[in-house]
Amino acid sequence: MTILAATELTGYYNANTTIMESNIAAALATVTDGGVSTWRVPTRDEAHLIYDAQGSLNLSTSKYFFRNNSDELKPFDVSKSSWMNAASSNIDLDASTALRPVAVVTVNNQ
């Protein structure tokens, strides 16, 4: 099952992609929500699910990071009227882009 962290991380945008990737990796290592330690940047499909469920997620900003199919960091904007507009190439990463990590966990039925 894929879960969404309650924690939002901000302040990790950097015009230098290498620095930004390093900063995000370091930040993800500090997230311990629910005792989970395998948090990561959402995929495009997971970002789409976040967009669809935004009304029930307590999102604090409008722009969030996701990884596209080429594993590049991209933004999506939950304030847009459709997912197609939200993940448009016209949306730019900037200092207002936040990270809402996801993780895959296994639930044991006993």
CA triplet 38, 56, 41: central angle to 5 degrees?
A: 25
Residue 110 has pLDDT above 90, yes or no: no
* Sign, Cα dihedral of 7, 54, 48, 61: negative
Reference 50, options 1, 97, 3; nearest CA is 3
Average pLDDT over residues 89-108: 92
Closest CA to 27 of 17, 41, 16, 15: 41
The predicted model gives 51-73 an average pLDDT of 95
Give the mean pLDDT of 60-88. Answer: 95
Task: Note the pLDDT of residue 108.
Answer: 79
Average pLDDT of the segment spanning 55-66: 94
Mean pLDDT along residues 56-84: 95
Read off the pLDDT band of 34 (50, 70, 90): confident
- Helix H, strand E, coil C: the string for the chain is CEEECCCCECCCCCCCHHHHHHHHHHHHCCCCHHHCCCCECCEHHHHHHHHHCHHHCCCCCCEEEEECCCCCEEEEECCCCCHHHHCCCCCCCCCCCEECCEEECCCCCC
Rounded to the nearest integer, the mean pLDDT of the chain is 94
